[in-house]
Amino acid sequence: MYTVGITGSVAMGKSTVVRMVRFLGHPVFDADAAVARLYREDVRLCAQIAKVFPEAADFYGVINKAVLTRRVFQDVSVRNILEEIIHPGVRRAAKSFVNRHRRLRRKMVFWDVPLMFQSGMDQFCTEVWVVSCSETLQHRRVLRRAGWDEERWKSVCRIQLSSQVQERLADRVIPTGLGRAITFRHLKRGIAQL
């Protein structure tokens, strides 16, 4: 079974490509959803986070993701500590997803992982596809998002690999700045060739 990782910097069009993959009938593991589930359901993980980041947990041990996000953008070393706590749980969830679909005799699954290379998840993929557009279009898309401004944009850029680096590491680049029809055609071609 093929495991294809989909990644890309913020506002590159990854969500659009993931919707296209689902439209084509392929299952997608969503790393962000897995993290949210861990925050809701994994009591031990939440206790670890609360111990290291007490300001991010309430009296009942419920994690406030917004507080953690602010801390991560302020201090890169905080992100590394948080990732050491969270990534093992995400990897377990991803492997469970693959095993479930292998039992269903699926030929191909996709992983939607924003920090694919930084987290080391790329080593578990048959191929990694990077979603990309021009920096000008990316910047325009970011600033159209609710709650985003120049400062938040720069904070995210500091923690993500540049699109140029990701494209060099990728097995395939899916362009998203030339219209959805072209993006869809590149995606279908990649699936057919794999």
125-to-3, 49, 90, 98 alpha-carbon distances in Å = 5, 28, 14, 11
Retrieve residue 18's tokens.
Answer: 């993931």
Class of domain 2-193: alpha beta
Q: What is the mean pLDDT of residues 43-70?
A: 89
Q: Is 80 exceeded by the pLDDT of residue 193?
A: yes
Per-domain boundaries in the chain: 2-193
Q: Is 80 exceeded by the pLDDT of residue 159?
A: no
Instruction: Please give the Cα distance from 51 to 39 (Å, whole number).
Output: 14
Retrieve residue 128's tokens.
Answer: 């990694």
Q: Is 90 exceeded by the pLDDT of residue 77?
A: no
For residue 34, the model assigns a pLDDT of 96
Instruction: Please give the Cα distance from 128 to 169 (Å, whole number).
Output: 8
Instruction: Please give the Cα distance from 68 to 39 (Å, whole number).
Output: 11
For residue 2, the model assigns a pLDDT of 97
- Predicted confidence band at 174 (pLDDT cuts at 50, 70, 90)? very high
For residue 146, the model assigns a pLDDT of 86
- Predicted confidence band at 61 (pLDDT cuts at 50, 70, 90)? confident
Letter string b/e over residues 60-87, b meaning 16 or more CB atoms within 10 A of that residue's CB: eeebeeeebeebbbeeeebbeebbebbb
- Predicted confidence band at 21 (pLDDT cuts at 50, 70, 90)? very high
* Global pTM value: 0.91
Q: What share of the chain is helix, strand, coil (3-state, %, to 5)?
A: 60, 15, 25
Strand order in the sheet with 108-112: 28-30, 108-112, 2-7, 127-132, 172-175
Instruction: Please give the Cα distance from 59 to 42 (Å, whole number).
Output: 16
For residue 96, the model assigns a pLDDT of 96
* Parallel/antiparallel/unpaired status of strands 108-112 and 172-175: unpaired
Q: Is 90 exceeded by the pLDDT of residue 74?
A: no
For residue 79, the model assigns a pLDDT of 83
Q: What is the mean pLDDT of residues 139-150?
A: 89
Give residue-wise pLDDT tens across range 90-123: 999 999 999 999 999 999 999 999 989 988 999 9
